[in-house]
Amino acid sequence: MTQSRSLSKWKARHAVLVWIGIILNFAFVLPLIFCPEWILGLFGITVNQLIWPRFAGLLLGILSIFYIPATLDIDRYRVFAWLAVFPSRTLGTVFFFLAVFVFGQPIGYLAGVFLDGSIGIATLFCLLRILRLEQNISEGRQA
């Protein structure tokens, strides 16, 4: 397989993973906006005021929309692809990890660690592979 063909496959894999992350995010966004008590109850989380989970859901939806350009043209929107990993997915993972293990928040918040962490690691791997293939192509080397 040629390096340019392999590069195209890695770009496609990246796009698929980002879309999976967007869909998973919206699995939280819609319930947080429209039925926050139900979704939070699934994770053993209680709140006094529903405006904050609704607002968090809205912000997560807005953030997820910013992931889309890199799925359509990663060459043009490369910075968006990197921002989706650092700081977005990375800080989401760290925030929820610290919330549970340092600040004693309910274990249900670990869903944020698993979602952001898994998508972040997978997309980071794709981005690093894409970068390496591009460097090899530009230098005329084989993988």
- Give me the DSSP letters along 109-124: GHHHHHHHHHHHHHHH
User: Which pLDDT score, from 0 to 100, does residue 143 have?
Assistant: 58
pLDDT band of residue 1 (cuts 50, 70, 90) is low
- Interhelix angle 110-139/3-34, rounded to 10 degrees, is 160
Task: State how many domains the chain has.
Answer: 1
Work out the angle at residue 122's Cα, subtended by the Cα atoms of residues 79 and 53, and round it to the nearest 5 degrees. 80
User: Which pLDDT score, from 0 to 100, does residue 49 have?
Assistant: 96
For 30-50, the pLDDT digits (tens) are 999 999 999 999 999 999 999
Q: What rounded mean pLDDT belongs to the chain?
A: 96
For residues 120-124, give the mean pLDDT.
Answer: 98
In angstroms, the CA 23 to CA 20 distance is 5
For residue 109 the two structure tokens come to 């918040």
Percent with pLDDT over 70 in the chain? 99
User: Which pLDDT score, from 0 to 100, does residue 141 have?
Assistant: 81
For residues 67-92, give the mean pLDDT.
Answer: 98
The yes-or-no verdict on residue 113 having pLDDT over 90 is yes
3-state helix, strand, coil in the chain (%, to 5): 80, 0, 20
Residues of the domain holding 80: 3-139
For 91-101, the pLDDT digits (tens) are 999 999 999 99
**CA 20 vs CA 61, 65, 80, 138: distances in Å:** 14, 13, 16, 30
SS3 140: coil
The continuous run of DSSP H or E covering 98 comes out as helix 90-101
The yes-or-no verdict on residue 21 having pLDDT over 70 is yes
For residues 115-130, give the mean pLDDT.
Answer: 98
